[in-house]
Amino acid sequence: MAQLSPHFSDSEFACKGVLPPPGVVVKLKKLCKVLEQLRILAGPLKITSGWRSPEHNASLKGSSKTSHHLTGEACDIQSDTLSPGQLAAMVLAIRANSTEMQGLVGEVLVEGMHLHLSIRLPFELMRDDRYA
Ligand SMILES: [Zn+2]
């Protein structure tokens, strides 16, 4: 197990017990930058779906072959005390208040009981498509 940021470890983003590979970890660390900001406002967050291996992603009904979960650029989260809509509003506030976060925050989608959050990557990381 390795820490990705002060409050998040790679095991929280594991897929069926398999830890995310190095190329994915690089991206998850960027994602965790946003999660750490959200955690300040929202408190502890549960990662309900982090990295997805290609095999697991393919087994999910209706999953996209280009899902950002495959690359470590997205996760689904829940809070014990806040609704996905409330979490979404917090992420939008975080994005609005910081230039760094404006460049980093991608999709913010309420999906049923959880919030899907993705990041946008700088060019050098986008070119790394080994896990796409
Ligand atoms: Zn998702």
Digit-by-digit pLDDT tens for the chain (132 residues) are: 899 999 999 999 999 999 999 999 999 999 999 999 999 999 999 999 999 999 999 999 888 888 999 999 999 999 999 999 999 999 999 999 999 999 999 999 999 999 999 998 766 555 555 444
Q: How many whole angstroms from 117 Cα to the centroid of ligand 1?
A: 7
CATH of the domain at 115: 3.30.1380.10
Report yes or no on 132 lying in a domain: no
Q: Rounded distance, CA 46 to CA 54, Å?
A: 22
Give the domain range for residue 120. 3-126
Between the CA of 2 and the centroid of ligand 1 the distance, in Å, is 22
d(C-alpha 110, C-alpha 90), whole Å: 12
In a domain, 53, yes or no: yes
Q: What is the pLDDT of residue 131?
A: 42
State in Å: Cα 126 to ligand 1 middle. 19
Report how far ligand 1's centroid is from the alpha carbon of 98 (Å).
24
pTM for the model: 0.91
- Tell me, in angstroms, the distance from the centre of ligand 1 to residue 99's CA: 24
CA distance 62 to 42: 30
Please give the distance, rounded to the nearest whole angstrom, from the Cα atom of residue 46 to the centre of ligand 1: 13
22 CA from centroid of ligand 1 (Å): 20
CA distance 57 to 131: 12
Total tally of structural domains belonging to the chain: 1
Q: Where are the beta strands (DSSP E) in the chain?
A: 3-5, 8-9, 46-49, 74-78, 105-111, 114-119
